[in-house]
Structure 1
Amino acid sequence: MALPVETFFLQPDAQGTLQSQIQQMIARGILSGRFQHGEKLPSTRKLAQHLGVSRITVTIAYTELLANDYLSSKGRSGYYVSENAPSPPAFSQAPDTQDAIDWTRAIGQRFSGGVTPRKPQDWSDYRYPFVYGQVDQSMFDHANWRLCALQALGQRDFTSMTSDYYDQDDPQLIEFILRHTLPRRGITAAPEQILITMGAQNALWLTAQVLLTQRRRAALEDPCYHALRDILVQSRCHVTPVRVDQDGLPPEAIPPDTDVIFTTPSHQCPTNATMPMSRRHRLLARAREIDALIVEDDYEFETSFLRPPSPALKSLDTEGRVIYVGSFSKSLFPGLRLGYLVGSEPFIREARALRASVLRHPPGHIQRTTSYFLSLGHYDALVRRMGSALHERRTKMEEGIAKFGLTIAGQGAHGGSSFWMRAPEGIDAKLLASRLRNRGVLIEPGQSFFGGEDKPQNFFRLGYSSIHPNRIVNGLQELAAEIEEMMPSGSIRR
């Protein structure tokens, strides 16, 4: 690759001759790692014009670097960074300038330090990756996704790919959601009541920013999706965690001064509890009683392979009180980062304006590719294959869990892709997860899902969407063996 001439510049306060300054400039670029072995330097004529020096000055500097093996020459093709040039050090180099800013005072609001954990990027290298929310390549329809992407690159879709929608979305994707996706959840809506987002997490952030202030109160499930807790803490609103039970969020426990209720009724995150219809009606009644809004995160409804999913809470709402969050990231692939909000027009109008000021709109090409994948039937076929594969893996999970005496704390009544597990008392799930890595096993500790100071330490989540079914039982055996080793001597496993 040729190095652009714009990356070369002389320091105005540099010492020495122009020739030595050019040598130092190039040597610094090589030693810092900015210039890589084999990359081509600008011609002597082009660099001389760019720097405003004579060509002979650049030629002499190149010749000296050539003699010191920093550069190599390939006949008439020019000068290159030598393969024998010194390699940059493994550690990151300190910047040339000294940071004199007191950032503890300069930063007005902090967004780091939340509870959301980082998933290991190398999860697929582990033999037993019980990780949640990742893609199994054997299930994804890569060939048809590629064809849809190529179709979206065609001349016919040039406008959708290149246009600045500003605050609008791809009408073809909106139409599919209106006519196919939402009716499956019992929801009817108009185009102006839908907003495409960069995944469900972005949808939750937009919702929190529009609805909550420092004086308002949000009620959220405990345990809950850890990123939601980070979002609400950053919004500086009052946050009340409400402990869930085997049926999800108990409406009677929601404080009367609550303004917004966040819930996951289809598959409670992370316990997988499914909220019964009777409780859904009680939740709507409680929201009406205290004049609160409800934000329904309807993730994983597509993975209901045991029985049809219950109607969405939004479908039971007759007052416009429920804001619905949907996502394609779980059913297609996480890196897609494409979700949607459904709500009353005044709310969507404000969320649309906020999105436009932050990122304008999700990329048009991604929206059009997704709309083709959906409308051509590939999505439905993928969901059916995924349901069949998850059913097989769930069966193996249940067999292995029973065989090795592990304890299920929560599982989806309609399906899902994970189990919420409880280790014996006295077992720290974080320590358990750390030790299991040496056995090639990845699990997700549960502490970050809980709020407050007194968090249970012995819960963890086992995802089964990303692990090969033939490895499930052996992986659970390794898990059970590690728990056994961590048990105090003479204790009874429960």
Structure 2
Amino acid sequence: MTACLPLDSIFLGQERHQTLQSRLMSGMVTAIMSAGCVPGTRIPSTRYLANALGLSRMTVTLVYAELAAMGYIESKPRSGFVVASTVPVRRLSTQGDGAPEAGGSVNWDEWLPPHTPRKRVIRKPADWRDYPYPFIFGQTDPSLLDHAAWRDCARRALGRNDFGEMSVDLMTRDDPRLVEQICTATLPRRGISARPDEVLITVGSQNALYLTLELLARDDRPTVIEEPGYPDFAETLRARGVPMQFATVDEGGLDLGAIPAGTKMVVVTPSHHIPTGATMPMDRRRALLERAEADDFLIIEDDYDYEMSYLAPPMPALKSLDRNGRVIYLGSFSKSLFPGLRMGYLVGPAPLIEAARAERAMMLRHPASQMQRITAYFLSLGYYEAHIHRLREAMAARMACLVQSLADTPFRIAGAGRDGGACLWVEAPAGVDSRALANAAVARGVLIEPGDVFFEHPPQPCPFFRLGCASIGTERIPLGIAALTEALAELA
């Protein structure tokens, strides 16, 4: 008797957003490979499998046709479908008496360096989409991106000419088209002039920050960061043993009077301070640059969110005002397009970029070439400008709704961007800890970001928290704030 592929080995995948055809395709391949079927093993008929799985026969027929085209199965006269002799490499059977014990005989505590837990980490639940009121920053509403436009750019990048060009190992180089777009379109929007040898493509601005501090941070170079501020600034410096000074922040951003003598680097978010949203005024920007020249320190400018300027034109970037090469600029497309893109850039003097390019090559050579080319097309074909226009309109409506929804609540807006932004820094009534509030709000489907993580030395209790509006639609904002107010009343 000819062997038959067991029906109970075929499962439909549970992946979201996949068609039944795709899920069955995945299940059939897994079954054929896992069962170690020899050529000639019979496959259930299309009618039988369709009835067993509750699918249409057409769906099964299309999957069988595709499996045949790929060399997994073949049709035999009067025998139906069988496993083909051309089936791709099968999985090897497990050798030995069974799976090894966890960790094996290696004492990994001796091999690995001591683990030092990070002191400050922003945590966001992976299933945030399942919550009805996700007021979290850094995630986006996918409906705001023109998917047809992005697909068009992907189609162009995967065309014969582009694919051949971008499928090779670029070694340490970046896609010249993307670098050109950044130099001729993106940076000029911020008033910045840069040559191609002054730009490096990175895996988001986080990677740009890491490369910069990997090259420049030392234990004899005291560094000033904002308080409150972005936790990863502190954690990256802490991991390198760099002495840190935490400078206070007011309605104009970083307080220059809090920068002590002997400082060698200052990390700052002048456009939209993290997390208060404060925008540094022009006179303070010029004063910071003058101070950097007089005291001989460098400035790392993280301009992560400048596109979210819908209330007023954005202030010129610090980098655009720099005449002495002291500002290192970090930019990103992840906030304006979508966070999963992980596409950023580092702008600085050519010697720094050359050193950063060599440092990057030790880790990943370069970000994925195809994603660089897709992004370049999105910029060059005008899709990006149209997207930013729609994004600003949506964010303006959402922010206005958020402000209005907070108006008659016990919460106080403690910080907001002068020209817009995608989040608010909010203060709860005296005596309320925002982490306790966040825990109470989760039960009502509300996600907020407690504020203690943004402080090196948070107030006790910490009443501050961040509300993002990029990941929640306008129609849900009032309901979400009402639920958050109920959670506050429950705490009281």
Structure 1 stretches of at least 4 aligned residues deviating more than 2 Å after TM superposition: 35-46, 74-79, 93-114, 158-161, 452-456
Counterpart for residue 42 of structure 1: 36
Q: Deviations over 1:179-207 (max 9, x none)?
A: 11111111111110000000010000001
The aligned counterpart of 1:252 is 257
Q: Does 1:263 align with 2:268?
A: yes
| 1:323 has 2:317 as partner | no
**Is 1:385–2:375 an aligned residue pair?**
no
Post-superposition offset of 1:75:
9.3
Aligned position for 2:465 = 460
Q: What are the ranges of 5 or more consecutive residues in structure 2 without an aligned counterpart?
A: 6-28, 41-78, 85-97
Who is 1:169 aligned against?
174
Q: Determine helix, strand or coil for the equivalent of 1:432.
A: helix
What is the identity percentage for the equivalent residue pairs of Structure 1 and Structure 2? 46
State the alpha-carbon separation in 2 of the partners of residues 111 and 344 from structure 1: 34
Deviating more after overlay: 425-434 vs 141-150: 425-434
Compared CA separation, residues 385 and 103, structure 1 to 2 (3 A): same
Deviation at 1:345, TM superposition (A): 0.8
Q: 1:406 to 1:452 in 2, by over 3 A?
A: closer
Q: Is the 8 A contact 1:212 1:237 kept in 2?
A: yes
Residues 98-119 of structure 1 show CA distances to partners (whole Å, capped at 9, x for unaligned) of 5455544433364643422331
- CA spacing shift, 1:328–1:186, aligned 2, 3 Å: same
| 1:193 corresponding residue in structure 2 | 198
- CA deviation profile, 1:273-331 (whole Å, cap 9, x unmatched): 00000110111122122210000001111010001000000011100000000000000
Listed one character per residue, the Cα deviations across residues 420-473 of structure 1 (whole Å, up to 9, x for unaligned) are: 011122212112111111101111111111113756621100001111101111
Contact 1:443–1:462 (CA under 8 A) maintained in structure 2 = yes
Rounded to whole Å, the distance in 2 between the matches of 1:114 and 1:38 is 48
Contact 2:432 2:461 in 1 (8 A): no
Is 1:360 the counterpart of 2:368? The answer is no
**Aligned position for 2:425:** 420
- Which of the residues 200, 205, 209 maps onto 1:204? 209
- Report if aligned partners of 1:167, 1:360 keep a CA contact under 8 Å in 2: yes
- Code of the residue aligned with 1:145 in structure 2: it is W
Per-residue CA deviation, residues 395-436 of structure 1 (Å, 9 max, x unaligned), is 111111112232111000100000001112221211211111
- The DSSP-based 3-state class of the residue aligned with 1:303 is coil
Q: Do residues 484 (structure 1) and 489 (structure 2) align?
A: yes
Q: Residues 117 and 100 from structure 1, CA distance in 2 versus in 1: closer, same or farther, beyond 3 angstroms?
A: farther
2:137, 2:470 within 8 Å by CA — same for their partners in 1? yes
TM-score (norm 1): 0.80
Identify the residue that residue 284 of structure 1 maps to in structure 2: 289
Residue aligned with 2:371, SS = helix
Tell me the TM-score normalised to structure 2 length. Answer: 0.80
* Whole-Å separation in 2 of the counterparts to 1:98 and 1:198: 31
1:432 partnered with 2:404: no
Q: The residue matched to 1:301 in structure 2 has which SS?
A: coil
Query: In the alignment, is the contact (CA less than 8 A) between 1:252 and 1:286 conserved in 2?
Result: no
Q: What is the rounded CA distance, in whole Å, between the counterparts of 1:342 and 1:461 in structure 2?
A: 29
Counterpart secondary structure, 2:415: strand
Partner of 2:341: 336
**1:221 is matched with which residue: 221, 226, 234?**
226
| Residue identity matched to 2:481 | L
Amino acid at match of 1:283: L
Deviations 1:252-280 (A, max 9, x none): 21121211110000000000000000110
CA distance in structure 1 between the partners assigned to 2:341 and 2:146 by the alignment: 14
C-alpha change, 1:102 and 1:222, in structure 2 (3 Å) is: farther
1:448 and 2:453 aligned: yes
1:140 positional shift: 0.9
Q: 1:260 to 1:159 in 2, by over 3 A?
A: farther
Corresponding residue for residue 139 of structure 1: 144
Cα distance in structure 2, aligned partners of 1:111 and 1:177: 38
Residue 215 of structure 1 deviates from its aligned partner by: 2.4
The equivalent residue for 2:237 is 232
In 2: Cα distance, 1:453 partner to 1:133 partner: 22
Cα drift, residue 40 of structure 1: 4.8
**Contact kept in structure 1, 2:302 and 2:331, CA below 8 Å:** yes
Paired residues, number: 414
Give the AA of the match of 1:197.
T
Give the equivalent residue in structure 2 for 1:64: none
Measure the CA separation in 1 of the matches of 2:353 and 2:100. 44
Q: Measured at CA, do residues 260 and 456 of structure 1 come closer, stay the same or move farther in structure 2, by a change above 3 Å?
A: farther
Tell me, which stretches of 5 or more residues in structure 1 are unaligned?
4-34, 47-73, 80-92, 488-494
Q: Displacement of 1:161 after TM fit?
A: 2.2
Amino acid at match of 1:355: R
CA contact (8 A) 2:301 2:318 kept: yes
Shift of 1:223: 1.1
Take 1:408 and 1:43, find their aligned partners in 2: how far apart are those partners? 64
Amino acid at match of 1:42: G
**More off after superposition, 159-168 vs 394-403:** 159-168
User: What residue number does 2:377 align with?
Assistant: 372
